Structure 1
Amino acid sequence: MEEAQMKEEFKTETNETQMEEKETEDTQLEEKDSYLQTEVAPALIALHPFDQSIAVTVGSELRIFNLVKNCAVSLADESKEMLHRDSIRALRFSDSGKLLVSAGDDKLVKIWGAESWQCLCTVNSEKRVSAVAISKDEQYVCFADKFGVVWIVDLVGLAENQPNPDKNAVAIFGHYCSIITSLEFSPDGRFIVSADRDFKIRVSVFPKYPLKGVHEIQSFCLGHSEFVSCLTFVHNSDFPQGFLVSGSGDSTVCMWDVTSGSLLCTSDVGREANLSEESHPAVTDLYATADGSLVAVAIQRQALEIPLSFDLLLSILQGILLLSCDLSAKRLSMLKVVPVPGETFIPTRLGTKLSGNLLWMVTGASNLPGTKESSFARIRAVSCFKKKSNDSDLEPRVLEDTEVPGGDQLLEKLQGSVSVESTVFSAAADALNAAMSSLLRKKQYSDEKRDFRKKTRNDKKFKQ
């Protein structure tokens, strides 16, 4: 009897343990499903280098406006994977403006001809795509996935108004399972620079035959204490190779010599904009003028409980920072804060053209929780985004909607709606802050939850 009773008690305890484990797994699955359903993607913007068109993405939508003909553009996609099925995370024109590349969470990289607006090629990625870059000679497209691998696609054979050839991507190097946040080619095309969420910037020599792999590391640019969010190069005729500029979650903008990897200058944008020491707004995007004299900086929205004056709070939360760049002195310095009056405008991406007369900004997001709008985008433009002989002569101004090139037609196409409630702007800013922290700041898991995530994650490539 005692042996039977002991067996029964052991069976009961085992069942209770299994039920508890099942409840824990169900709760974790619900959390995982909830995260996937509410994952927010920021709106993106890209400018044709010669002022011919402007592209904006919101979620899976790719919207193009022709600035020359002042009309919306219709995309032609005859590939098996028509358009994008999920959020677009990367968008870029080539230096000549002949190509536009879009890629994102649907594991598709689409290469568009920027004259016919036909999809020239669709490339399948094994993982979600986080960044893209186009080589200076436009012979290659590189893209990075969220497992830290950089892939390359050979563009030989691509041509307008011809059947889409099959193209396969080749892995050329990796960042050891760290999400790559940005890819850039150096102005002379010698290097490809990649940044990740583990604070690293890798400068790799781009070889003559890159399909065989990128094996030579020129340098590492190490100095950030948080994720590196964005990269750009500043250069001019006197400094053709230029210098690398990086933005980070540690609230700094750094200038680097990519050949040696040495840190030349650090600008603490939070401190220089007189934010409190407890505040460390992440730098979310950078854009430099063609002559390398100015760098526009977009920063993450600040928590409202930070004790700031109203005027400073208004300017920091609703605008961009301008840094003056002295290439000969290898120095970045705070120049101006450009506020966006009248609305809570937190830029999610910046863009300009070679002339540099206008700086374009977009704010917005898809999959917005807690609002009537599933997604939205808002476009603004800053005039006089070009440095003159004297810094005091620079008087940038945010244009009214009636002053934006393309006017209502452009705004209707790229925004979808000209009128957006102020609550949507605030909801988007909060959601984007949470999304960036979730994506780029590493999470700490217990051993049990880490094992569970390993068992339930899906790393396989699905074919439709």
Structure 2
Amino acid sequence: MEDAGIEEAEVSGGAEFAPALVAAHPLGSSVAVAVGPELRVFDLKAGSAVSLSDDSGGSSHSDAIRAISFSANGVLFASAGDDKLVKVWKTDSWCCIRTITSEKRASAVAISNDGTHLTFADKFGVVWLVTMEESVGGQKPTDNKPVSILGHYCSIITSMKFSPDGRYIATADRDFKIRITLFPERPLRGVHEIQSFCLGHTDFVSCIAFTCLSEGPSFLLSGGGDSTVRLWDYINGCLLDTCQVRDKVEELIETSETGDNNLAVTDICPTNDGSLVAVAIQSLNGVMLLACDLVTKKLSFLKVMTMEKSYIPTSLSSSFSADLLWTVMGASNMPNQATSQLFTRLKIIPNFKKDPLASSDHVPTVLEDSEVPHGEKLLLALQGSLDIGKQEEVLASVLAALKVSMHKMLVKKHYSEERREQRKRGRNDKKIKKRNICSSCDHRFVACT
């Protein structure tokens, strides 16, 4: 790869923008959207926005939230981000019961299937674990510190999931690999037994998701910067099938006009039985649907659900009990944008769980804003308010920001020898300057820092 092309991310400068995230409660009782430091929750049963509270004694998120996740039974919810905070919420009251401080910025979070352990990954590729003692007998948590359990050798972990049976934890990174690790009964001693590596992606892995038949083995789906969705036998680390999405997308968008040839897969969301997979793709104004046959172990293109031109989803989610596919678009740290005006757009696709091949009546369609559940109340709670006349302008800015963000965060930079030496000298100069300042101080070094 040419140095000039790669250094483009560095010279472009600017802030690193965090995409908006959406997560649906497994039982369909609520939906959460994270944009910037804001966490917005709507109670679908009560039909009203949720007011969050905090009994953990910790501070609220002050920087972009990078990962959100419900527990398998929906009792707990976790959020983590660039402020080095991981917060755990009880979903019956939406009260924060735990605030954990990470040493580095968090990039992924997951809760074990039995709800007894929380794992989160940081930007250095280390996975940390905390025991959730409050989930047993309603007791208050002790102040146990996170314990490192596994690592990806200084590679950003982009996605982390527990297998349906809870026996394995899957972690994906920007260095093209997926690691499947046995999750032991006593993980505080370390999660050292590697079951397999799923190797085949030729660019960063952006997302992973487990899927399984109602009765039978489970499989792993992954998407990445190489514009592919892949199906894995993760127990043995075997690649079963690969679906190239680039060709289908290029038929729908004219990349030559937009100047954007990056068609990375940004998120995937399978149905409960794995028969259908929704795929979000950078630069695609819509969602691609893939048919997934877990019996023959094949992926095939089904159709593209196109949306308005300025709407490109950044995150997808669906619950186990409902047939709605939730999609969101948005970004944090927008230029000249106040925190209270962080803007997201929400689109919902119904009939997502029904087999579209069985009947033409069940083909999913995108709901209009007037057709979404709870209508304007839900949209106002999750999208935030914004002058309608400025939507197109803001959405255009969001699109540009997200393209830069993914390039800066996930595409690994390569430098010429000369540039590499300059960076080393810059780092060494800072260390020498800091040592000189501290050595000239009468106080101890700890006090100086």
Q: 2:420 aligns with which of 444, 447, 451?
A: 447
Task: Give the greater-gyration-radius structure (CA).
Answer: 1
Q: CA deviation at 1:38?
A: 2.1
State the SS of the aligned residue for 2:39. strand
Confirm whether residue 197 of structure 1 aligns to residue 174 of structure 2: yes
Q: Tell me the distance in 1 between the aligned counterparts of 2:211 and 2:135.
A: 31
1:158–1:165 contact (8 Å) kept in structure 2: no
Q: CA deviation at 1:61?
A: 0.6
The C-alpha deviation readout for 1:322-375, integer Å capped at 9, x for no partner, is 00000000011000100113x411101001111341101000011113678963
2:15–2:333 contact (8 Å) kept in structure 1: yes
Question: Which runs of structure 2 are paired with 1:222-233 in the superposition (5 Å)?
Answer: 222-233=199-210
The C-alpha deviation readout for 1:228-279, integer Å capped at 9, x for no partner, is 000001212232x311000010000000001110100000011234548994
Q: CA deviation at 1:168?
A: 1.2
The C-alpha deviation readout for 1:159-189, integer Å capped at 9, x for no partner, is 7987553231100010000000000111111
Q: Tell me the distance in 2 between the aligned counterparts of 1:417 and 1:64.
A: 15
Change (3 A) 1:256 1:109: same
State the SS of the aligned residue for 1:211. helix
2:30–2:42 contact (8 Å) kept in structure 1: yes
State the SS of the aligned residue for 2:331. strand
The C-alpha deviation readout for 1:196-245, integer Å capped at 9, x for no partner, is 00001001011111110011101000000000000001212232x31100
1:122–1:167 contact (8 Å) kept in structure 2: no
Aligned to 2:242: 266
Q: Tell me the distance in 2 between the aligned counterparts of 1:389 and 1:197.
A: 33
Q: CA deviation at 1:81?
A: 2.4
TM-score (norm: length of structure 1): 0.83
Q: CA deviation at 1:76?
A: 1.2
Confirm whether residue 38 of structure 1 aligns to residue 11 of structure 2: no
State the SS of the aligned residue for 2:86. strand
Confirm whether residue 175 of structure 1 aligns to residue 152 of structure 2: yes
Q: 1:296 aligns with which of 259, 271, 278?
A: 278
The C-alpha deviation readout for 1:390-414, integer Å capped at 9, x for no partner, is 3562421111111111211111111
Q: Tell me the distance in 1 between the aligned counterparts of 2:89 and 2:30.
A: 13
1:79–1:164 contact (8 Å) kept in structure 2: no
Quick one: which amino acid aligns to residue 60 of structure 1?
A: P
1:368–1:428 contact (8 Å) kept in structure 2: yes
Q: CA deviation at 1:449?
A: 3.5
Q: CA deviation at 1:321?
A: 0.1
Quick one: which amino acid aligns to residue 300 of structure 1?
A: Q
Aligned to 1:436: 406
Q: Larger relative CO (CA 8 A, sep 6+): 1 or 2?
A: 2
1:121–1:166 contact (8 Å) kept in structure 2: no
Aligned to 1:320: 287
Aligned to 1:398: 366
2:342–2:384 contact (8 Å) kept in structure 1: no
Gapped regions of structure 1 (runs ≥ 5): 1-30, 302-316, 459-464
Q: Tell me the distance in 2 between the aligned counterparts of 1:370 and 1:122.
A: 30
State the SS of the aligned residue for 1:397. coil
Confirm whether residue 186 of structure 1 aligns to residue 129 of structure 2: no
1:113–1:160 contact (8 Å) kept in structure 2: no
The C-alpha deviation readout for 1:50-76, integer Å capped at 9, x for no partner, is 111111111001111111111111111
Confirm whether residue 427 of structure 1 aligns to residue 392 of structure 2: no
Q: Tell me the distance in 2 between the aligned counterparts of 1:123 and 1:61.
A: 17
Question: Which runs of structure 2 are paired with 1:280-295 in the superposition (5 Å)?
Answer: 280-295=262-277
1:271–1:277 contact (8 Å) kept in structure 2: no
State the SS of the aligned residue for 1:265. strand
Q: 1:380 aligns with which of 347, 354, 358?
A: 347
Confirm whether residue 338 of structure 1 aligns to residue 315 of structure 2: no
1:101–1:112 contact (8 Å) kept in structure 2: yes
Change (3 A) 1:162 1:323: same
1:289–1:356 contact (8 Å) kept in structure 2: no
Q: Tell me the distance in 2 between the aligned counterparts of 1:159 and 1:334.
A: 45
2:115–2:135 contact (8 Å) kept in structure 1: no
1:285–1:348 contact (8 Å) kept in structure 2: yes
State the SS of the aligned residue for 1:40. coil
Q: Tell me the distance in 2 between the aligned counterparts of 1:298 and 1:131.
A: 18
Question: Which runs of structure 2 are paired with 1:92-107 in the superposition (5 Å)?
Answer: 92-107=69-84
Gapped regions of structure 2 (runs ≥ 5): 1-9, 435-449
2:132–2:141 contact (8 Å) kept in structure 1: no
Quick one: which amino acid aligns to residue 218 of structure 1?
A: Q
Q: 1:354 aligns with which of 311, 320, 334?
A: 320
Aligned to 1:368: 334
Report how many aligned residue pairs link the two structures.
410
Q: Tell me the distance in 2 between the aligned counterparts of 1:243 and 1:404.
A: 32
Change (3 A) 1:339 1:263: same
TM-score (norm: length of structure 2): 0.86
Change (3 A) 1:274 1:356: farther
Change (3 A) 1:389 1:199: closer
The C-alpha deviation readout for 1:430-463, integer Å capped at 9, x for no partner, is 11011000000011231233315644599xxxxx
Q: Tell me the distance in 2 between the aligned counterparts of 1:178 and 1:157.
A: 32
Q: Tell me the distance in 1 between the aligned counterparts of 2:185 and 2:55.
A: 32
Aligned to 2:382: 414
Aligned to 1:24: none
1:290–1:356 contact (8 Å) kept in structure 2: no
Q: 1:77 aligns with which of 24, 43, 54?
A: 54
